[in-house]
């Protein structure tokens, strides 16, 4: 794909028909759930999720959504697989070192579930492309590691009324939250971090224990499914934070900031 600007897709198009028997068997454990059933599973198969970042968080997000039968996954990452990534970025293998992360992840997801359409952008989407892809998506998942990208995703979420599932993890700590711009009382990411000039600590600088990104990324995947199925209240208006050393979760209420520069009607 290179810099051609043409996304690579595992199949032609993203329109899904009715589940066949093989798919019913594959997803049978989910279909048994009252909140899912065949109707809910069909909804997952018809859904489209944009995942930004194919690192420690994006790996479990993409793998669990593919396994769960979310039918159309769009991945974007401009980086290459490095040996230091393999400690935690489980969508990539040793054989993928030097490969573009978006392409490596796509190959893994197709091998995991060939029935899922996987589109891979091996470059950073510019503002117009991000808005276009966010508009097409049912859910936007933030698996990035810097505030510049997170604020850009938040703006795209607000501009397109697309739910945003955000996660972060470093050292032994992690957090996850959900932002639903169609709900008037819902906060946005910038209600949490109003200062757009702040800089994030990175795993390269601070270090990170491998399973923490798996825990947080898996929670993000669960929230995506929750939002797509409208199965429960989820994390809208709340932050779930994990201290991996004490093994304690903290549930933090996040109110909407009436003066938020991103989502307030005053701006």
What is the predicted pLDDT for the residue at 201?
64
Residue 84 CB coordination number (10 Å)? 11
pLDDT exceeds 60 at position 119: yes
193: pLDDT confidence band, cut at 50, 70 and 90? confident
Alpha-carbon gap, residue 105 to 19, rounded angstroms: 25
Question: Taking residues 59-63, what's their average pLDDT?
Answer: 98
2: pLDDT confidence band, cut at 50, 70 and 90? very low
* In a domain? residue 6: no
- What CATH number has the domain bearing residue 82? 3.40.50.720
Pairing type for strands 8-9 and 117-121 reads antiparallel
* In a domain? residue 31: yes
pTM of the model: 0.91
* 243 beta partners: 173, 248
What is the predicted pLDDT for the residue at 132?
96
Q: What is the mean pLDDT of the chain?
A: 89
> Residue 104 in 3-state DSSP?
helix
14: pLDDT confidence band, cut at 50, 70 and 90? very low
Is residue 130 within 8 Å of 154, Cβ to Cβ?
Answer: no
Question: Taking residues 36-55, what's their average pLDDT?
Answer: 95
Q: How many structural domains compose the chain?
A: 1
What is the predicted pLDDT for the residue at 264?
83
Q: Tell me the percentage of the chain whose pLDDT exceeds 90.
A: 79
pLDDT exceeds 90 at position 19: no
Show the domain range for 195.
20-253
* In a domain? residue 243: yes
* 171 beta partners: 208
Alpha-carbon gap, residue 20 to 69, rounded angstroms: 13
pLDDT tens sequence across 194-246: 766 666 666 667 889 999 999 999 999 999 999 999 988 899 999 999 999 99
């Amino acid at each position: 794909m290179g810099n051609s600007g043409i996304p690579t897709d595992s199949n032609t198009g993203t329109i899904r028909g009715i589940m066949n028997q093989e798919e019913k068997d594959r997803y049978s454990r989910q279909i048994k759930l009252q909140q899912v059933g065949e109707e809910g599973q069909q909804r997952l198969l018809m859904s489209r999720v944009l995942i930004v970042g194919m690192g420690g968080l994006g790996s479990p997000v993409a793998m669990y959504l593919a396994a769960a039968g979310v039918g159309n996954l769009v991945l974007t990452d401009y980086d290459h697989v490095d040996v230091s990534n393999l400690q935690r970025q489980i969508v990539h293998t040793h054989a993928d070192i030097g490969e573009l992360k978006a392409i490596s992840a796509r190959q893994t997801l197709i091998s995991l579930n060939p029935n899922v359409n996987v589109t891979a952008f091996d470059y950073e989407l510019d503002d117009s492309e991000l808005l276009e892809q966010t508009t097409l998506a049912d859910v936007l998942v933030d698996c990035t590691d810097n505030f510049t990208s997170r604020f850009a995703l938040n703006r795209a979420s607000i501009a397109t009324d697309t739910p945003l599932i955000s996660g972060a993890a470093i050292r032994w700590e992690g957090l996850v939250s959900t932002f639903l711009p169609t709900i008037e009382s819902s906060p946005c990411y910038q209600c949490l971090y109003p200062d757009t000039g702040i800089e994030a600590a990175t795993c390269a600088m601070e270090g990170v224990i491998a399973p923490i990104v798996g825990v947080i990324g898996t929670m993000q995947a669960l929230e995506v499914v929750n939002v797509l199925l409208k199965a429960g209240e989820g994390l809208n208006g709340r932050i779930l934070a994990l201290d991996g050393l004490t093994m304690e979760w903290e549930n933090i209420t996040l109110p909407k900031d009436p003066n938020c520069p991103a989502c307030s009607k005053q701006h």
